[in-house]
Amino acid sequence: MVGRPLKKIQCESYTRGSKFTKQCLCKGYLKKSGFYRCKFHGGASTGPKSLEGRIKALRNLNFLKNKTEEEVQQWIKSKITEVSYRKKLSTK
């Protein structure tokens, strides 16, 4: 085991794979709620960032399954609202 296992604070949630009988083994961080949660259970994930990743993820949806990459790209562009577009511009 890597690191300092005796000092490690585990994530307090239970895994779905074990039908909520086994505790998650990841390193936990203290949340505002007072519970220790890992990066997977703490809501830290922001989803796919790059365009390729977003297309790959959206391809799993039924109504985009048989579309080409360009059609999926157009669908993503149609979903981007003006507000989120301005946010993107301001961050760059």
Which residues bind to Zn ion, rule: CB under 5 A? 11, 13, 24, 26, 38, 41
Tell me how far CA of residue 52 lies from CA of 7, 8, 32, 56, 72, in angstroms: 39, 36, 34, 6, 10
Shortest approach of Zn ion to residue 56 CB, angstroms?
Answer: 24
Rounded CA gap, 78 and 86, in Å? Answer: 15
Shortest approach of Zn ion to residue 43 CB, angstroms?
Answer: 11
Q: Give start and end residues of each alpha helix (H) in 1-92.
A: 51-58, 69-79, 82-91
Closest by CA position to 10, among listed 37, 39, 45: 37
Indicate the residue among 7 and 92 with the shorter CB distance to Zn ion. Answer: 7
Indicate the residue among 41 and 72 with the shorter CB distance to Zn ion. Answer: 41
Indicate the residue among 22 and 86 with the shorter CB distance to Zn ion. Answer: 22
